Copies of this chain bind each other. A is one copy, B any other.
């Protein structure tokens, strides 16, 4: 089959790789209907050292079950399923606590001999715990929105949930990428009445408005902080959803947080240390969030995707075939596309 490999910065190729097959009784093989490129894929795309051997990439997909191992009893060939971006048994103590990203028998796609999501098919370890069956057909128009259940929607949701967003919480979302926009959507869904979106790409912030942002701040750095403070009577907001991952973003996050407030981060940190010294201590600021246990949230979010209450698939503004994945990376890296959908 064909799948995507990354060889280094700005060097992504689609190549022939071995067809996936059942190796363990807990495996399934899934033919991919839709995959996509993630903002976090752009970090290695920007900076990965060149290598002779490419590495598989991609961690968001939905598809059709083609084969199952002997211990997979609740799935069968033909089922349409979505995979969260971390695979997990969904039965260990961490999984039962809703932290499937720390599953004792789980792991990441495209690592340690596991397939990546940007290909024609995937061997899914711990399939019964990992995959969630979708009550739709292979040609459902809902596939793009359902695919967001793999990562961006639950990641935005995790950010809002861990920040304690609710009806009485004012919110700032930092970042107008697909996760930031999903965080806006999630914050509104959890009842927030005031959601300030910090972002400077007009097409994206316009979608943020439609997802429920009440205020837009295009300025960055000190100026952006001033603007959010002006909008909130000088105080900042109770919750700050940091959906970028840079040091500048996390610094801005603390600066726009209200005393006693919470910064939640879901942007993959491009830093080792966080500016939380005496000033943040005096203001009782909390930093939470982390890699989102998407699996924990899919059942909760799925019904609203199915009935159209939310339409997170709108974050996809370009659809390509597998052969065009390298150009899809380029388009996202160059900010030509917000998020690229792949039909292998």
Q: Which residues of B contact A283 (CB under 8 A)?
A: 102, 290
Q: A260-B94, A273-B276 are in contact. Are A101 and B284 (CB under 8 A)?
A: yes
Q: How far is the CA of A284 from the CA of B102 in the complex (A)?
A: 9
Q: Are A269 and B277 in contact (CB under 8 A)?
A: yes
Q: How far is the CA of A273 from the CA of B247 in the complex (A)?
A: 12
Q: A102-B260, A281-B269 are in contact. Are A287 and B290 (CB under 8 A)?
A: no
Contact partner, A284, options B277, B278, B286, B290, Cβ 8 Å:
B290
Q: What is the CB-to-nearest-CB distance from A285 to chain B, in angstroms, rounded to a whole number?
A: 7
Q: Are B273 and A284 in contact (CB under 8 A)?
A: no
Q: A282-B101, A287-B287 are in contact. Are A273 and B268 (CB under 8 A)?
A: no
Copy number in this complex? 2
Contact partner, A260, options B97, B260, B275, B282, Cβ 8 Å:
B97
Q: How far is the CA of A26 from the CA of B127 in the complex (A)?
A: 67
Q: Which residues of B contact A271 (CB under 8 A)?
A: 277
Could you tell me how many residues of chain A have their Cβ less than 8 Å away from some Cβ of chain B? 32
Q: What is the CB-to-nearest-CB distance from A87 to chain B, in angstroms, rounded to a whole number?
A: 15
Q: What is the CB-to-nearest-CB distance from A261 to chain B, in angstroms, rounded to a whole number?
A: 10
Q: What is the CB-to-nearest-CB distance from A113 to chain B, in angstroms, rounded to a whole number?
A: 20
Q: How far is the CA of A148 from the CA of B164 in the complex (A)?
A: 31
Contact partner, A290, options B94, B101, B282, B289, Cβ 8 Å:
B282
Q: Which residues of B contact A284 (CB under 8 A)?
A: 99, 101-102, 162, 289-291, 293
Contact partner, A102, options B259, B268, B286, B288, Cβ 8 Å:
B259
Q: How far is the CA of A289 from the CA of B285 in the complex (A)?
A: 7
Q: Which residues of B contact A278 (CB under 8 A)?
A: 268-269, 272
Q: A133 an interface residue at 8 Å Cβ cutoff? A: no
Q: Are A265 and B281 in contact (CB under 8 A)?
A: yes
Would you give the 0/1 interface string for A322-342, flagging 1 where the beta carbon is closer than 8 Å to chain B?
000000000000000000000
Q: How far is the CA of A3 from the CA of B196 in the complex (A)?
A: 49
Interface residues of A in 150-164 (CB under 8 A from B): 162
Closest B residue to A250 by beta carbon equals B276
16 contacts between A and B (CB under 8 A): A162-B284, A268-B278, A268-B281, A269-B278, A269-B281, A272-B275, A272-B278, A273-B274, A273-B275, A276-B276, A281-B289, A281-B291, A282-B291, A284-B291, A286-B286, A286-B287
